[in-house]
Structure 1
């Protein structure tokens, strides 16, 4: 069995979907969720799912505490789900091509520092784009510049607001992210 860790900073809707997806799977186990702040909604969301959740602040990531937690839970693969901190080099080096993120746009458009959540959807609409979507990618030292693994698209409708576009993009995330994670984890040696 391969153990995955989920890193999250927000409400945890993707984290919950991923945990539920793997509940009945025999080959992949969500071993731990690491929240980057004590007020993150993900903590309450995963509480009833019987997955350990640890809070590691930005200082804890910088000091190596997060890497220790990943090692403690014998993590084989790391999944970012709404995680907003920069990943320290020590973790990047410990999990090369074993750490993925999902971004709510079709990268390379609308990526980089500060481009997350509703900010992305506002930028897509402001630019007059006709489509948006998701990008699943490996993590590297720069925000949203890792190798792309998968993209899925959806239309931008003439009457879209940032919130309606976000909902359509979330549906793509919920549908595809767990499936892509499973394929990647099952290919690990």
Structure 2
């Protein structure tokens, strides 16, 4: 585990007690993670308290630093066991987990502790173009190659299988015959930025209200 904390744990506990805490798991650039962090910066009920990654060179770590959010990197072995990650999440009093371009399978131990409290966004209309290895530009390339006339996003709960958790929300965009994978990616990113933070807020606010 490699830690990149940007303020003390004491500071983390200064947030109002009524707030519920979110951890973001991310593997890459982190544009969705930054969008989510900014969205919840002054939220009354929910706050992003932690960014967790599996890659020490992931640009999301730099984004987290700029936004004063602590970040931690775990090895693949640590992700597979999940125990050290659970200890960290408990330290930060994490109630919910958001995946934002996170490429590893979530361990069974995390699924057990966070049932229906981990959500992901996928850059296609699942069940199309989902599953292990289908992420980022690979999805958009497959969409264009298949001749699809629309694509979009799927926000869904996480289970033990890649991209097979219950669907929460989908939004669509047209795929034109002249569109390149980069064109489709731009349309899908716009949907991600517009909808993901809002759906996170709706889902987790509702979950917090019934606990």
Q: TM-score range, shorter-chain basis? A: over 0.9
Aligned mates of 2:76, 2:47 — CA distance in 1: 26
Task: Choose 1 or 2 for highest CA Rg.
Answer: 2
Aligned mates of 1:66, 1:40 — CA distance in 2: 18
Aligned length: 189
Aligned mates of 2:90, 2:104 — CA distance in 1: 19
TM-score (norm 2): 0.88
- Give the CA RMSD over aligned residues: 0.8
What is residue 129 of structure 1 aligned with on the other side? 148
Unmatched tracts of structure 1, length 5 or more: none
Shift of 1:35: 1.2
Unmatched tracts of structure 2, length 5 or more: 1-18
Q: Secondary structure at the match of 1:182?
A: helix
Q: Secondary structure at the match of 2:49?
A: strand
What is residue 11 of structure 2 aligned with on the other side? none
What is residue 48 of structure 1 aligned with on the other side? 66
Worse overlay, 150-159 or 57-66 = 57-66
1:15 aligns with 2:51: no
5 Å matches for 1:19-168? 19-63=37-81, 64-168=83-187
1:172 aligns with 2:184: no
Aligned mates of 1:183, 1:139 — CA distance in 2: 17
Q: Secondary structure at the match of 2:139?
A: helix
Spell out structure 1 runs of 4+ moving beyond 4 A.
Answer: none
Shift of 1:68: 1.5
Aligned mates of 2:90, 2:188 — CA distance in 1: 33
Contact 1:61 1:67 in 2 (8 A): no
Shift of 1:57: 2.1
Aligned mates of 2:62, 2:201 — CA distance in 1: 24
